[in-house]
Each structure stands twice: as structure tokens, then as C-alpha cells.
Amino acid sequence: MLKTLLKVAAISSLLFVGTMAKAADPIRIPVLNWSSQIFMANVMAQVFEEMGHTVELVPAESASRYEAVRIGDLHVAHETWESTMAIPFYEAMDKGGLLIPVATT
């Protein structure tokens, strides 16, 4: 039950998805420097792998990941703190290539 709940939480926590990889390319998920983000990156990786996708966990910086998603170097960004990351997030969004956030608070 807990495993299922974690998977649901991982999928619902996706903030946005940029230019997606071709079917043969790995889904590139950023790994940042705080524990809850690292945990969720690994949960998402497991979910995508169980769906049959290849996944690559990529060390990344908080602010630069939005531009990386926008240009296709990363495919997912999750667990964004609006209080500290609003400017780089909206700058990348204004340039185009990002989908609107799936859920907002």
C-alpha cells in the first residue's frame, strides 16, 4: 500500500515536463541537494522504469534545471520552492518549451 501511495505521490508531484525524450532515449530526472527531492527523484525513476522506460538520474542545480528542461537536457522538474525559484522558473517558462504546472497550491 505504501509503495502504491509513493508512486501516486511521485506522479502527482511532477511540476512540469518539457520536451520529452524519444522512446529510445532515457528520461532524464534531476537530482538536487536535499533529501526529499532526492527521494522523489528515485521514486519517479522507479515508476518510469516499471512503465518500461529507461531513466537517467542527473546531478543538477536548482535554478538551472528549468532552462535544462526547456531545452531538453532534462525532462522533468519536481519539488520547486516558489519562494526561492520563482524568477528562474518564470524566465524559462516565458521563453517557451515548458508545459504549465500540473498542480498549483
The Cα 24–Cα 96 span in angstroms is: 25
One pLDDT digit (tens) per residue for the chain, 105 residues = 555 544 444 444 443 344 444 567 899 999 999 999 999 999 999 999 999 999 999 999 988 898 899 899 999 988 888 788 888 888 888 888 776 555 555
CA torsion angle 67 31 105 10 (round to 10) = 120
Name the pTM for this structure.
0.69
pLDDT digits (tens, 9 = 90+) for 24-38: 789 999 999 999 999
Provide the β-strand partners of residue 13: none
Domain boundaries, the chain: 2-95
Which CATH code, of 3.10.105.10, 3.40.50.720, 3.40.1000.10, 3.10.20.30, is assigned to 2-95? 3.10.105.10
74 closest CA partner among 43, 52, 98, 91: 98
Helices (H), the chain: 2-12, 35-50, 65-71, 82-95
Determine the residue type at 4.
T
What is the three-class DSSP state of 56? Answer: strand
